[in-house]
Chains A and B, each alone.
Chain A
Amino acid sequence: MRLSQAHFVIQRVLRSLRELIWTHVLTAGTMAMTLFVFGGFLLLQENLTGLLKGWSSQLQIFAYLEEGLGDSELEFVQRQVRSYPEVEGVRYVSKDEAWESFKTDLGAQSGVLEGLDREILPSSLEITVKKSYRQRASVADLAGRLKEVKGIREVEYPEAWMEKLSLLLLGVQWTKWIFGGFLFMASLLIVGSTVKLAIMARRDEIEIMQLVGATDRMIKAPFVIEGMIQGLLGASFSLLLLWLLFLFLSMRLPPSLGILIPGDQLRFLDLWQVSFLLLLGWLLGAVGSFFSLRRFLGA
């Protein structure tokens, strides 16, 4: 396409944007809603992944020891635990240290411990798992083996939470694609209808262009460009809405949730995800226009 023809195409695009402004706004708005829902899931997934990663990085297994272990037996248990390939580090927590730590955690309410025996809490081993083994299955397997070690009475780790969060994350991932897929199809139909309207509005002009020898590319290019512009505008608007929602939620996060998700750890979409949403909008507009043109103007 020559420069003068490109100029002509751009002129037609601008004229269409001017003349059918509300149709274009409506289509871009619909695309924005689709991408907002999709982006919302993306945002949720991003933060749940962050949360899960945060928890995983702090993942420790607590192995409570039997009463009355001697120094050599304690040494033996620790050596045995360290020999497992999944184990990164082992720290012994004496009854005394456990008592102090518990007291500190209770803070102002530590008075309830008065009168109790300092040795009520069992001594334990805090076992840190290597990064590469911080999956649910590996941790469960290690916990099972630890239970078999002579001298260890009980083993605990945050299995239930990890499992629930993993399931939730999986759910969000699938919902994002399934729900997003449906909305994507709906948006394609809406873009198609807009292109149909634009074709109807310019039917005479298209016919004349065909008669005077305009190439197919020349006739179709403005519609595809309009679709791309609608898609990009829709995606930009959805990002703006997502950003506002993110700000609102960050500021209004209930304090009770702060223990689970510290406010400063909430994350907005990264550059890659923002680019992905913009690309998705662009693609949605282009593909919608392209298929509509094939349908109404022929291949």
Chain B
Amino acid sequence: MIQLFRVSKVYPPNFPALTDLHLQIEKGECVFLSGPSGAGKTTLLKLLFRAEEVTEGQIIVNGRNITRMNGAGLARLRQEIGLVFQDFKLLPYMTALENVALAAQVIGLSVRESRSKAFHLLRELGLKDKHGSRPPSLSGGEQQRVAIARALVNDPVLVLADEPTGNLDPDMADETIRLFLKIQEQGTTILIATHDTRLLRKFNRRVVMLQRGCLVGDSKHGDAGAGS
């Protein structure tokens, strides 16, 4: 699903965020991307949905080289990827249902279809009674579930989550990760960036460890440091 070949990212004037990264993630895997703040987790995710361009190297996502992608190709790529952020990125003046349906509408689903799909997902995520609420009136966990519903509404093949539990209490964080694992069971590839080692220990999935922009461990290869 994801292949990185000698990927480097340097921010101007000369700040290396990622250096010579090799990584392969199979379809249907759930991988934790971990490391301390400033390790390059967010940069790597941004490269995967092309919010940033690589300085060197190649990235293949779902069989397509996205390194120099733009315009319509970029839009298509993002329609195949579900994104979840620490700060949820929900629109406060829209209801939970409208927030989720927005993502479906922009790719061409009718208002009715989008709303129906959004409602179905919110119900599955336990927000049946909250679909008419606006984000400011929802708890952090509820807002994150709305964001996850929005990420899933277009049936993505890949979900990228950047510190999705960063603003949640431990119970809510566990609940959110369980939700991601449930999504993974349906065949979706999940990549979760987190620096919460408690979650890594608890959920025992593949962990890719970054430090100062370099890959320093991958539990798939039994590297020390990853998953500990």
Contacts and interface: CB of A to CB of B under 8 A. Distances in A.
Interface of A: 2, 4-5, 7-8, 204-205, 207-216, 218
Given A4-B105, A5-B105, A216-B71, 19 more contacts: A2-B108, A5-B108, A207-B89, A208-B103, A209-B102, A209-B106, A211-B49, A211-B51, A212-B79, A213-B76, A213-B78, A213-B79, A213-B81, A213-B106, A213-B107, A213-B154, A214-B107, A215-B72, A216-B75
A205 B92 CA distance: 10
B75 A4 contact: no
B111 A212 contact: no
Contacts, number: 60
B149 to A, nearest CB: 12
30 contacts: A4-B105, A4-B109, A4-B111, A5-B106, A8-B105, A8-B106, A204-B91, A207-B89, A208-B89, A208-B91, A209-B106, A210-B78, A211-B49, A211-B78, A212-B83, A212-B106, A212-B107, A213-B76, A213-B78, A213-B79, A213-B81, A213-B103, A213-B107, A214-B106, A214-B107, A215-B71, A215-B72, A215-B75, A216-B71, A218-B106
Q: Which of A5, A212, A218 has the largest count of B CB atoms less than 10 A from its CB?
A: A212
B110 interface: yes
Contacts of B106: 5, 8, 209, 212-214, 218
A204 B89 contact: yes
Contacts of A218: 106
The 5 closest A-B pairs by CB, nearest first: A213-B79, A213-B78, A214-B106, A212-B103, A4-B110
B47 interface: no
B145 interface: no
Interface of B: 49, 51, 71-72, 75-81, 83, 89, 91, 102-103, 105-111, 113, 150, 154
A207 B49 CA distance: 13
B78 A212 contact: yes
Nearest to A204: B91
Interface of A is mostly: helix
A214 B72 CA distance: 9
A8 B76 CA distance: 18
A215 B77 CA distance: 11
Contacts of B75: 213-216
A92 B150 CA distance: 94
B124 to A, nearest CB: 19
A136 B71 CA distance: 60
Contacts of B78: 210-213
A211 B111 contact: no
Q: Which of A204, A213, A215 has the largest count of B CB atoms less than 10 A from its CB?
A: A213
Contacts of B113: 4
Contact of B77 (A4, A5, A8, A213): A213
A212 B111 CA distance: 16
Contacts of B79: 212-213
A207 B105 CA distance: 15
Nearest to A8: B105
B108 to A, nearest CB: 4
A1 to B, nearest CB: 8
Nearest to B107: A213
A166 B75 CA distance: 59
Nearest to A1: B108
Contacts of B80: 213
